[in-house]
Amino acid sequence: MTDLADSPAVRRLADWDHERLEALADEHGTPLYVMDLDRVKENYTRFAAAFPDAEVMYAAKAHTGKAVLEAVLEAGADIECAAWGELQRSIDAGADPNTLQYTAVNPPDHDLDYAVDLAEDAPGLTITIGATDTLERLAERGYDGRIAIRINPGIGTGHHEKVATGADAKFGIPYERVPEVADRVREEFELVGLHAHAGSGVLTEGLEEHCQAIERVGKMARRVGDADLEFVDVGGGYGVPYREDEDPLDLEKTSNMVRDAVGELEATLKLEPGRYVVADAGLILSEVNTIKDAPDTTVVGIDASLATLIRPAMFGSYHPMLNVSAPDREPEPVTVGGPVCTSADVFAHDRPVARPEREDVLAIGNAGSYGYELASQFHSQPRPAEVALEDGQSRVVRRRESLEDVTRVEQ
């Protein structure tokens, strides 16, 4: 078990070893993803300790790298998956398929085929459905095993409208239809749980609305008979502070509010943190290649791009930034952008950064969740390498792609 005595609730970019980061950039090149697996285990252990009577899974979609999956398994987590590839990668990392939970969202035929085949030898696998169509498609495949129903609570929360899944019709069974769907599942399958996910990136000040969605889930559990359920899964969405002036999630308050909101249950409470576990355990190192004085700003060009980290372009997300080559230089406001030919390829506008110079290494923080997962090969850019830190050592866990990797599937 990870010792939490020296593990702060959030790791700021300034807390990383700057000399070590610069050495990693020199050794492995840039752009470079760095994941601290010790921090991953600390974060999971801290979260699980705040919910001692609950089952805390890891939402794999935040980061499905094998090294990360192995780390959360070592910390004691089971894994929640949203696609067949995440199921397979979890098994490859050492997960018992009987412990996996597959949350199917408009699943392609291949995904259902894979899950049903997997369940033949792993009857403990749980499939979470968000549409009655999925029940029909499972029955057509001869599946009659473990089912959880995903509820749409009608309340979405989180840092951006694109992650407020609790109010999006794409996700889950409409709230008032859940009892009839539960009856149907009990007739044809094994109903083991209810599931909901209100949104992503929730910090302490957003807990009240988040818990309103959880309260509806608890009420529905009692309505359909929670004594006959194994679990009630209220999802994840628990955030980390991306901005330096934001406070970390108050886990004690979160635990109390979630417990109060869900109410008395005979079923086990489940939670699925993803971002909380990996976000501040990862960063990107990128080299400065261009300094351009423009009329209204100084443009700093780096070799990372929206193909490396798309969150600023997709969500307008803030990621902290630090000049690890010269952190003590006088800061000045700069606009930091990458080499992709679009105005969306900008990481920061007028951001105070210790005055960058060519060949300096900049660190982009809180890149451990939905960073490499959303990386692409846009502009025929090979995806970066990834280095893992663990027990004082570093190792390459994902090599840098070559152009041959980019074109390998072409015919």
Binding residues for substrate: 275, 311, 370
Residue with tokens 């390459």: 396
Pairing state between β 268-271 and 231-233: parallel
Q: Which two tokens stand for residue 128?
A: 């979470």
Catalytic residue at 341?
Answer: yes
**Residue with structure tokens 């190192």?**
285
Task: Answer whether 280's CB lies under 8 Å from 10's CB.
Answer: yes
Cβ atoms of 68 and 35 within 8 Å: the answer is: yes
∠ CA 5-8-13, rounded to 5° = 145
Annotated binding site: 237, 272-275, 311, 370
Q: Which of 169, 294, 341, 409 is catalytic?
A: 341
Question: 9 and 46 in contact (C-beta within 8 Å)?
Answer: yes
**Which residues does residue 157 pair with via DSSP β-bridges, in sequence order?**
199
Give whole-number Cα distances, 192 to 182, 210, 354, in Å: 10, 24, 54
Strands 331-337 and 346-354: antiparallel
Q: Which amino acid is at 196?
A: A
Rounded CA gap, 30 and 384, in Å?
7
- How far is it, in rounded angstroms, from Cα 304 to Cα 234? 36
Looking at residue 8, the DSSP 8-state letter turns out to be: -
**Rounded distance between C-alpha atoms, residue 24 and residue 20, angstroms:** 6
Interatomic CA distance for residues 235 and 80, integer angstroms: 10
> Which helix (H) or strand (E) covers residue 42, if one does?
helix 37-50
H helices present in 94-235, as ranges: 109-121, 132-140, 178-188, 207-224
Q: For residue 170, give Cα distances in angstroms to 107, 166, 174, 303.
A: 12, 9, 10, 36
Pairwise CA distance, residues 210 & 85, whole Å: 29
Q: What are the binding residues for pyridoxal 5'-phosphate?
A: 237, 272-275, 370
Q: Given 3-state DSSP classes, what are the helix, strand and coil percentages for the chain, each rounded to the nearest 5?
A: 35, 25, 40
Would you give the distance in Å from CA 63 to the centre of its chain?
6
Hey, which residues are catalytic here?
341
